[in-house]
């Protein structure tokens, strides 16, 4: 049986952990959301650039001779790759956030069960079942951390592909535009 001093200590620890967790949660949750918004904007910029360039090409094609069309197609391809990888990155980020929340819950539960195991004086079934639950949850935490690391790696790769493709898309677009301006001026 637990005594009042231990109950008070557990309550105090639980309250402190809850306050810290709420502050930490606000800060931690803000960063992934900002990154998701950034990649949403990249996707919108890519799509808008493709739409505007298609419209411009369509309106100029009857009036001027357009050179280096394969460069423009390469630009559009890069923008499409950027859009797909940016959207995929945000999809995987949502999966990571779910795993993070599940891990946070499991960690809190594991800590509580560990403390209860320590403070339970009896050596009977109650303490043993708490110990088994504690060990089980520690295993879940380890699996969750490994899964989170894999997902974070995928997020980083998809984000890099999105950004590099967008930059290449703009490079090809500028190359196409400048080549056509130079050749049109002759």
**Furthest CA-CA distance within the chain:** 94
> What would the DSSP string read from start to end of 34-80?
HHHHHHHHHHHHHHHHHHHHHHHHHHHTTTSPPP-HHHHHHHHHHHH
Distance CA 85, CA 163 (A): 9
Q: Label residue 13 by pLDDT band (50, 70, 90).
A: confident
- Residue 148 has a pLDDT of 80
Q: Is the pLDDT of residue 55 over 50?
A: yes
Nearest by Cα to 120 from 10, 17, 12: 10
Structure confidence by residue, pLDDT tens digits, 1-12 = 457 777 777 788
Protein fold of 4-185: Substrate Binding Domain Of Dnak; Chain:A; Domain 2 (1.20.1270)
Distance CA 170, CA 49 (A): 9
- Model pTM greater than 0.85? no
Structure confidence by residue, pLDDT tens digits, 122-136 = 555 566 666 666 677
Kindly list the domain boundaries of the chain, sorted by start residue: 4-185
Contact 121, 70 (CB under 8 A): no
């Amino acid at each position: 049986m637990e005594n009042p001093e231990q109950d008070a200590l557990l309550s105090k620890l639980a309250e402190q952990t809850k306050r810290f967790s709420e502050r930490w949660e606000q800060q931690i949750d803000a960063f992934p959301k900002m990154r998701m918004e950034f990649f949403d904007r990249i996707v919108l910029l890519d799509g808008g650039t493709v739409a505007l360039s298609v419209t411009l090409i369509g309106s100029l094609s009857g009036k001027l001779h357009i050179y280096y069309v394969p460069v423009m197609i390469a630009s559009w391809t890069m923008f499409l790759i950027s859009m797909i990888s940016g959207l995929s990155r945000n999809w995987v980020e949502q999966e990571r956030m779910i795993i993070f929340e599940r891990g946070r819950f499991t960690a809190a539960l594991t800590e509580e069960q560990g403390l209860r195991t320590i403070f339970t004086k009896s050596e009977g079934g109650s303490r043993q079942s708490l110990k088994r639950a504690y060990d089980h949850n520690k295993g879940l935490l380890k699996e969750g951390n490994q899964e989170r690391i894999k997902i974070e790696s995928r997020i980083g790769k998809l984000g890099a592909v999105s950004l590099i493709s967008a930059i290449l898309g703009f490079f090809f677009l500028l190359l196409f535009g400048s080549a056509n301006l130079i050749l049109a001026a002759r």
